[in-house]
Structure 1
Amino acid sequence: MRAQNGVGSFAHRCRVYYEDTDAGGVVYYVNYLKFMERARTERLRELGFVQSVLARENLLFVVHSSEASYRVPARLDDELLVTAQVIELNRASLRFKQQVWREADMTLLCEGQFLVACVRADTFKPRAIPEALRAAFAAADGPGTHSIAGD
């Protein structure tokens, strides 16, 4: 989905379910990480890459590090837009900037960055991101994405 209102070039829509919340109906903090993981997966899918297929080709993406800032709580039944933009494209890793917005009033709820490493499925050792995938991310996320040698 292409988002509007300055949310970013890609956003995954999801809804807050009962299982995502605590007893007060507020989204439990770790679930924002799950929403963002799903958005990264859907970002890959939108670009034509499916993680189950990549795994059969001996390629996995694993989260190396994450950082999140929580601003305003999401609540039960809120519809969310979750962005996933590559801001750094290295030889064997990607850095995503992600945001979670409440769609009804376009309030920013949470934002963060994730360093995602490309590894071999059989050994979990780093491997280069395939050129087709690099090109797809570079084309989709534009001039803000860049390549750094020696990752």
Structure 2
Amino acid sequence: MFCIRLTKQFKLLRTRQLHLTSINVKNENKVASETSKTAETSQSTVDKEKVDFVTECMKKFCLGPPMHAVSNIDKRILVWVKRYPSIDQVPDYVSYQCIQHAHTKARIRISFILLFVGILICISAIMSGKREVASGKNIATERLKWYMEVKKKAEEEKQNAEKVQ
């Protein structure tokens, strides 16, 4: 309960700050006389600094949708799912919803690619098996040949051992 009250007060404080900066921006747009232009230019630079500060706070403290700092891999994913046209145009911060949709689309595309590769591997295994059967090779005959070779080698070694003695 106490935490909820604190968060509400903090949100109200931030909205008040935004409201004050928007009033300053509106006042900045009014045309002033030439005598007060020097005083107003110094005040307008201060107002612009306030606006810049508030926009930085908006990015950091998530006023609006929660933002995600984009890494290089995230930029590539966002371009691959055609959310942005190029890597250069991807901003530094993107909403969580945007990055989640991009990751979901990328996962789906990768699963389709892996499914396609798996099907190709299965088809190639079937084709190579059929080729081997057509040439007369199978596991049973290969195993019998291997056992015969092992027996011949064992007999030769036995005969060589008898000759030596």
Normalised-by-shorter TM-score class: under 0.3
Task: Name whichever structure is richer in strand by fraction.
Answer: 1
What is the TM-score normalised by the length of structure 1?
0.18
Q: Which structure's relative contact order is higher, taking Cα pairs within 8 Å and 6+ residues apart? A: 1
What is the TM-score normalised by the length of structure 2?
0.17
